[in-house]
């Protein structure tokens, strides 16, 4: 009945159908039961059914099957080509898992309503379409859909700063997309095609005089995508946007939306002769991002901002591994190993960052205090708000242990993979330093749970715990499970990404690595104690107060584009 091409198209059509059904809930009154049926039915069709489809597609993917074609079956000269391979399967899995967990969480924390459900499902559909597309203009449209759903969902938290964050994000992202169009113009002019394969073919046979145009167009495309990924120096919009959005949306933004454009870009770069050089510069930028992100995170006092800066740091890890993978070539053994490491860190980060956003979100919703320096004794507050077992603290602990790379949690495995694949280069030193900082800042964040000697009554807000606990426990168990069964997962991911079924030298539990982990933790504890000193906290205060203003977003974008262009030109 349905060919394989149609089955993969359902990965993005099902959420759209779900969204259309969820919107139908607006046709009837809010109180009527059929409205709820429409809304939740739409959500099931849009979030659960695609996971079923993915399970169906898995056996074929493991065999190395790649499904390509033209959407609609039209001709290749003008039509939209797509490519569904292991990478698309993995990103879809990542996207739908986090989206499902975030939707369950939002059933309690808000925002709620058929419009929210519909827009949330549209965002998931756009994620699936972005990673599947093989057409430059279709990538533009998909990125715009991702963007506009973010601009609309961020202000729904009701915090006044969220609107400003959404405005800044909108302006810089929309401008970047116009630059993307200019890049599309350049590449279309040289090659006469919009599909990746057509462009690659055209570039191979192009007039040597047009090389400058190709380089400039590529650098503009990369910069426009890099803004979505928030590497240095293009990170300025992320802290406000992720910190002030509703908790469920923060999880999806941090977990999925900053990674999918990166992996979609790898489809473009793989076909360009100079794609490898782009990868090298991005890899360096990734290492710097990982380190600077932690430094900025250490200085923050707002809990969600701290998590947002950590997202920047962790995406630095992913970009570093990804960049070096592109540099070495995805089809070489080292390149494939690096790509596996990049994807695994992206997946595990989405799991534990989502978990952290949910746990911190629950805690701050109850205590109404977001300042890490001021909040204490949250376990007791949570208990008095109605949580009988300290589940939120346990899930926070799971997330914190994951991000600080403690065994047997998943962060331990993925950071080991990234570190060992990059061993010896400058980037790996930056990553080690970032690891120390991560430990320190999570000790700082966990302070909100420490019991206090004199407890005075704090006003707590009573909230519904069940959906939140469900989502938190789901992600926490996934964090532990993916950590314990890591070798098996690595095998699957390796097969899907490049036919590598075993990674040589994979030994995260070797004495060498355990000593390294231990010394990172000790270093982190020392750093945390050092942060209490007045002169250190003075420096941290100064760092915190230097925020990037609106103009800075554009200056950094321009300089980043020019730097990439210069790097490729020379």
**Nearest distance in Å: CB 19, other proteins:** 8
Residue from 33, 207, 462, 535 that binds other proteins (CB under 8 A)?
Answer: 207
> Does residue 155 belong to the site contacting other proteins (CB under 8 A)?
yes
Residue from 34, 178, 374, 466 that binds other proteins (CB under 8 A)?
Answer: 178
Residue from 43, 122, 224, 401 that binds other proteins (CB under 8 A)?
Answer: 122
Stretch of residues binding other proteins (CB under 8 A), selected from 137-145, 272-280, 288-296, 390-398: 137-145
Residue from 35, 91, 102, 119 that binds other proteins (CB under 8 A)?
Answer: 119
> Does residue 568 belong to the site contacting other proteins (CB under 8 A)?
no
**Nearest distance in Å: CB 83, other proteins:** 14
> Does residue 300 belong to the site contacting other proteins (CB under 8 A)?
no
Select 220 or 372, whichever has its Cβ closest to other proteins. Answer: 220
How many Å apart are CA 412 and CA 394, to the nearest integer?
18
> Does residue 538 belong to the site contacting other proteins (CB under 8 A)?
no
Residue from 164, 394, 536, 540 that binds other proteins (CB under 8 A)?
Answer: 164
- Residues 247-276 within binding reach of other proteins (CB under 8 A): none
Residue from 188, 506, 509, 567 that binds other proteins (CB under 8 A)?
Answer: 188
> Does residue 333 belong to the site contacting other proteins (CB under 8 A)?
no
SS (H, E, C) 169-236: HHHHHHHHHHHHHHHHHHHHHHHCCCEHHHHHHHHHCCCHHHHHHHHHHHHHHHHHHHHHHCCCCCCC
> Does residue 200 belong to the site contacting other proteins (CB under 8 A)?
no
> Does residue 132 belong to the site contacting other proteins (CB under 8 A)?
no
**Nearest distance in Å: CB 261, other proteins:** 15
Stretch of residues binding other proteins (CB under 8 A), selected from 167-175, 460-468, 503-511, 516-524: 167-175
What are the backbone angles phi and psi of residue 69, rounded to the nearest 5°? 170, -170
Q: What contacts 132, CB < 8 A, 6 or more positions away?
A: 8, 11, 12, 82, 83, 84, 88
> Does residue 6 belong to the site contacting other proteins (CB under 8 A)?
yes
> Does residue 138 belong to the site contacting other proteins (CB under 8 A)?
yes
> Does residue 142 belong to the site contacting other proteins (CB under 8 A)?
yes
Yes or no: say if 197 and 81 are a contact pair by the CB < 8 Å rule.
Answer: yes
Helix, strand, coil fractions of the chain, as percent rounded to 5: 75, 0, 20
For residue 442, count other CB atoms closer than 10 A to its CB: 25
> Does residue 170 belong to the site contacting other proteins (CB under 8 A)?
yes
Cα first-last separation, the chain: 53
> Does residue 191 belong to the site contacting other proteins (CB under 8 A)?
yes
What are the backbone angles phi and psi of residue 233, rounded to the nearest 5°? -90, 20
Q: Please tell me the count of residues contacting other proteins according to CB under 8 A.
A: 91
How many Å apart are CA 150 and CA 139, to the nearest integer?
17
Stretch of residues binding other proteins (CB under 8 A), selected from 360-368, 441-449, 513-521, 558-566: 558-566
Select 140 or 348, whichever has its Cβ closest to other proteins. Answer: 140
> Does residue 176 belong to the site contacting other proteins (CB under 8 A)?
no
**Nearest distance in Å: CB 10, other proteins:** 8
Considering only CA atoms, which of 372, 326, 371, 399 is closest in space to residue 568? 326
Stretch of residues binding other proteins (CB under 8 A), selected from 88-96, 149-157, 394-402, 495-503: 149-157
DSSP string covering 347-389: HHHHHHHHHHHHHHHHHHHHH---BTTT---HHHHHHHTT-SS
> Which residues partner with 23 through β-bridges?
none
Residue from 137, 280, 506, 509 that binds other proteins (CB under 8 A)?
Answer: 137
> Does residue 397 belong to the site contacting other proteins (CB under 8 A)?
no
> Does residue 246 belong to the site contacting other proteins (CB under 8 A)?
no
Yes or no: say if 72 and 79 are a contact pair by the CB < 8 Å rule.
Answer: yes
> Does residue 380 belong to the site contacting other proteins (CB under 8 A)?
no
Residue from 30, 55, 64, 74 that binds other proteins (CB under 8 A)?
Answer: 74
> Does residue 280 belong to the site contacting other proteins (CB under 8 A)?
no
Residue from 68, 175, 301, 384 that binds other proteins (CB under 8 A)?
Answer: 175
Considering only CA atoms, which of 293, 288, 286 is closest in space to residue 310? 293
Measure Cα distances from 205 to 187, 189, 199, 201, 210 in Å: 13, 13, 10, 7, 11
Peptide bond into 233 cis (omega under 30): yes
Select 5 or 334, whichever has its Cβ closest to other proteins. Answer: 5
Yes or no: say if 166 and 151 are a contact pair by the CB < 8 Å rule.
Answer: yes
């Amino acid at each position: 009945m349905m060919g394989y091409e149609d089955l993969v198209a359902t990965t993005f059509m099902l959420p759209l159908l779900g969204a259309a059904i969820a919107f139908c809930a607006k046709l009837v009154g809010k109180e009527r039961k059929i409205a709820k049926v429409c809304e939740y039915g739409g959500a099931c069709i849009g979030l659960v059914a695609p996971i079923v489809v993915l399970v169906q597609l898995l056996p074929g993917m493991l065999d190395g099957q790649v499904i390509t074609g033209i959407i609609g079956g039209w001709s290749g000269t003008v039509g939209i080509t797509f490519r569904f391979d292991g990478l698309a399967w993995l990103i879809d899995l990542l996207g739908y898992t986090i989206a499902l967990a975030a939707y369950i969480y939002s059933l309690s924390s808000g925002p709620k309503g058929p419009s929210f459900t519909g827009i949330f499902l549209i965002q998931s559909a756009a994620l699936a379409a972005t990673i599947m597309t093989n057409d430059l203009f279709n990538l533009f449209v998909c990125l715009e859909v991702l963007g506009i759903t973010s601009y609309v969902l961020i202000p729904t938290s009701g915090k006044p700063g969220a609107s400003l964050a959404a405005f800044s994000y909108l302006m810089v992202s929309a401008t970047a997309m116009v630059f993307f169009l200019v890049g599309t113009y350049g590449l279309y002019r040289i090659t006469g095609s919009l599909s990746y394969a057509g462009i690659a073919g055209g570039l191979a046979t192009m007039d040597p005089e047009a090389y400058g145009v190709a380089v400039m167009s590529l650098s503009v495309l990369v910069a426009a995508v890099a803004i979505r990924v928030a590497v240095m120096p293009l990170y300025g919009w992320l802290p406000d946007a992720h910190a002030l959005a509703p908790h469920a949306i923060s999880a999806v933004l941090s977990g999925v939306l900053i990674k999918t454009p990166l992996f979609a870009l790898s489809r473009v770069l793989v076909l360009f002769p100079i794609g490898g050089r782009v990868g090298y510069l991005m890899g360096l930028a990734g290492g710097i991002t990982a380190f600077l992100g932690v430094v900025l995170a250490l200085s923050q006092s707002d809990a969600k901002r701290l998590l947002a800066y950590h997202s920047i740091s962790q995406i630095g890890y992913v970009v570093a591994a990804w960049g070096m993978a592109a540099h070495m070539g995805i089809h070489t053994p080292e390149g494939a190993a690096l790509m596996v490491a990049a994807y695994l860190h992206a997946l595990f980060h989405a799991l534990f960052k989502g978990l952290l956003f949910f746990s911190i979100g629950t805690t701050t919703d109850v205590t109404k205090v977001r300042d890490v320096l001021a909040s204490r004794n949250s376990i007791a507050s949570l208990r008095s708000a109605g949580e009988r077992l300290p589940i939120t603290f346990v899930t926070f602990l799971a997330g914190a242990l994951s991000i600080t790379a403690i065994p047997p949690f998943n962060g331990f495995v993925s950071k080991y993979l990234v570190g060992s694949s990059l061993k010896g280069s400058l980037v790996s030193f930056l990553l080690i330093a970032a690891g120390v900082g991560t430990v320190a800042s999570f000790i700082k964040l966990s302070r909100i749970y420490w019991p206090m000697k004199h407890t005075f009554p704090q006003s707590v807000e009573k909230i519904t715990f069940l959906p939140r606990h469900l989502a938190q426990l789901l992600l926490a168990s996934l964090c532990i499970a993916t950590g314990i069964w890591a070798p098996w997962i690595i095998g699957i991911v390796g097969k899907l990404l490049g036919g590598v079924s075993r990674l040589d030298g994979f030994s995260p539990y070797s004495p060498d690595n355990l000593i390294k982990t231990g010394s990172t933790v000790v270093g982190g504890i020392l750093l945390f104690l050092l942060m209490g000193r007045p002169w250190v906290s003075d420096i941290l205060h100064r760092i915190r107060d230097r925020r990037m203003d609106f103009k800075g977003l554009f200056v950094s974008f321009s300089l980043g584009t020019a730097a990439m262009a210069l790097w490729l030109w020379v």
